Structure 1
Amino acid sequence: MPGLIVICGATATGKSSLALHLAQGLGSPILSADSRQVYREFDIGTAKPTAADRRNVPHYLLDICDPTDNLTVADYQDQANQAIAEVQGLNHVPLLVGGTGLYLKAVVKGLKIPRVAPNPELRSQLAALGQAQCYAMLQQVDPESITRIHANDSVRTLRALEVFYVTGCPISQQQGENPPSYPILQIGLDCKEVEEGDRRILIRTQEMFNAGLVAEVESICQKYGTSLPLLHTLGYAEIKQYLAGEISLEEAKELTALHTRQFAKRQRTWFRGDRKIEWFAVDQPDLLEQVWHRVQEFLEQTKVASASGTSCTF
């Protein structure tokens, strides 16, 4: 069975560019692992692949829902697994590319995710009780979850209570991992120097503004209203402040770059926790050659293992 190649890393490390080169060389499609690129109309601020890129290489998991929808991690996992199976069924190796760590983990680790849709009314009732009481309630119904959820983590506390009250079963008993049987190569991109990463983020930020980010946000605000949850995310929240007259355009740029740097730091911390990711420095002149060599090695190992009927892990 064809395997899966993952390209991950922090924002502005060149994941999309590298993936396009690999996809063209392998004749493979690209599957997005970005939690905002799944939404239609959120294009510039999410650095979504251009129309030209999408004509040159087939892309999956882009624009699969409206901005008013709520795509859960479980929803994404289902659609990603379906796309992977479809591509592998054609004897191609899909490229799973993005920086949303939880999306990638859901696929690569085969996370068992409770299929419980968000219940706004229940969450509102629980939130009204306050985090302290909710956490105490969780300790009573699911003490195992307490070992993994911090006392101040209201989001995960509410989710755990929500799953319990909807299903009658603790979320800790519904979680776990069931990794896929096909081989997976995880390639991580990072900058040797922090300054190089900051420089790339500044360039990315300016490019977004030049491409019409302000107009994109203004159009989305007019169509869906300023309370749309996605407008509170990176790049959009800062422009919304500018459009409201709260900050200047230059301040919006500076804040976007600052918040992007902070976000990239969190991404690096997340990905560094996975020891199976093989890291490549993006500022190496022969990056593409290095990665291409590793990919060919992986494909050959996969082929040999398949021919011998043995399993292989990477």
Structure 2
Amino acid sequence: MPSNDKQGAEHINLVAVIGPTAVGKTTLALALAQKFGGEIVGADSRQIYRYMDVGTAKPTAGERARVPHHIIDIVDPDETLTLGQYQQLAIDAIADIAGRGRLPILVGGTGLYVRTVVEGWTIPRVPPDHALRGALAREAESYGPTRLHQQLQSVDPAAAQKVDPRNVRRVIRYLEVYHATGEPISSRQSKEPPPYQTLQLGLTLRRERLYEHIDARVDAMLRDGLLDEVRGLLARGYDETLPALSGFGYRQLIAYLRGSLSFQQAVHETKKETRRFVRRQYAWFPLDDPNILWLEADEHAFEKAAEALVQFIQQRTS
């Protein structure tokens, strides 16, 4: 059955496959795309970077050959992509896919990316305030990143709950938006819904099982050449302080290469930080969210997801 029969934007069907890292989103999304004639729109803030394949669990070349992917490998590690730019790229990709009669499938664990598309956020067009950024960066350097996160907590508790205090760049941006607009970024949501209806499929696992998956994934990444990937990024001249290289896995292995961590410590810290990241992801995707159909990530997940998608499309076309 055609999922989007080249209708207008108001009739676009969108599927979002969401959930924590290492839960199996890519596998499910690929299977759904192949069954329903879909294409994947990335919603992962790390997979946008070129040369960072292993450590971001990017879809393989074979997977991308089987199913078209969008918004992956679009900037270099020393370039930036604003939230507004991401949102526009995603909206354009979704419209293009649906316009060709295909099914757009939004896939990723970056809650900010997913929400800005699914909920149609109004992104504040706030130009960078370099003086404020510099002052806040110096404050973080002098007193630690927790100081800035506490400031964010006082003006925007919802955003503070969902951002890692060590992600100084994003905390500064949220504070910058607040200082410029007088409104917390978490309140900047559109009054109008986006021009499509969304079936949100959430994958989850019991926490112990998920942590086992995380440990296994980190071990697999190391076998697949993550350390060589990190060496390659440094050899290309990318500064280790870049936000792209501050993510879990990359930062710890850079510390190992610089001699400040043993290899075993780097692996342990990577696994530990990935677990922390999962807890923040669930803040974006609460298990009690009535808009998300949560599925246990087991051998029945695809069958249940496919059944839900058939019902969703039938309801939309009836």
Matches within 5 A, 1:262-273: 262-272=276-286
Residues 2 and 91, structure 1, Cα contact 8 Å, conserved in 2: no
Q: 1:155, CA displacement in angstroms?
A: 6.6
Q: 1:157, CA displacement in angstroms?
A: 7.1
Cross-structure match for 1:276: 291
Aligned CA RMSD, in angstroms, stands at 3.0
Q: 1:248, CA displacement in angstroms?
A: 1.9
Match of 1:252 among 260, 266, 271: 266
Q: 1:64, CA displacement in angstroms?
A: 1.0
Alignment pair present for 1:199 and 2:209: no
Cross-structure match for 1:288: 302
Q: 1:2, CA displacement in angstroms?
A: 2.9
Superposition TM-score, scaled by structure 2 size: 0.83
Q: Following the alignment from structure 2 to structure 1, what is the Cα–Cα distance between the partners of residues 20 and 217?
A: 13
Match of 1:176 among 171, 175, 189: 189
Identical-pair percentage? 39
Q: Following the alignment from structure 1 to structure 2, what is the Cα–Cα distance between the partners of residues 53 and 255?
A: 30
Alignment pair present for 1:43 and 2:53: yes
Cross-structure match for 1:308: none
Alignment pair present for 1:91 and 2:101: yes
Alignment pair present for 1:55 and 2:65: yes
Counterpart code for 2:218: T
Q: Which runs of 5+ in 2 are unaligned?
A: 1-10
Matches within 5 A, 1:1-314: 1-128=11-138, 145=155, 158-159=172-173, 162-163=176-177, 169-172=181-184, 175-177=188-190, 178-191=192-205, 193-223=206-236, 224-272=238-286, 274-283=289-298, 285-304=299-318
Q: Following the alignment from structure 1 to structure 2, what is the Cα–Cα distance between the partners of residues 64 and 101?
A: 19
Counterpart code for 1:170: G
Q: Map Cα deviations across residues 93-113 of structure 1 (whole Å, 9 max, x no partner).
A: 200000000100000111111
SS in 1 for 2:245: helix
Superposition TM-score, scaled by structure 1 size: 0.84
Q: Following the alignment from structure 2 to structure 1, what is the Cα–Cα distance between the partners of residues 159 and 31?
A: 40
| Pair 1:133–1:259, CA change in 2 (3 A) | closer
Q: Which runs of 4+ in 1 moved over 6 A?
A: 129-135, 153-157
| Pair 1:117–1:288, CA change in 2 (3 A) | same
* Residue-pair matches, total: 296
Residues 169 and 243, structure 2, Cα contact 8 Å, conserved in 1: no
Q: Following the alignment from structure 2 to structure 1, what is the Cα–Cα distance between the partners of residues 297 and 194?
A: 29
Structure having the higher Rg = 1
Residues 22 and 214, structure 2, Cα contact 8 Å, conserved in 1: yes
Q: 1:76, CA displacement in angstroms?
A: 0.6
SS in 2 for 1:13: coil
Q: Following the alignment from structure 2 to structure 1, what is the Cα–Cα distance between the partners of residues 270 and 159?
A: 30
Q: Following the alignment from structure 2 to structure 1, what is the Cα–Cα distance between the partners of residues 62 and 110?
A: 24
| Pair 1:105–1:149, CA change in 2 (3 A) | closer
Residues 2 and 92, structure 1, Cα contact 8 Å, conserved in 2: no
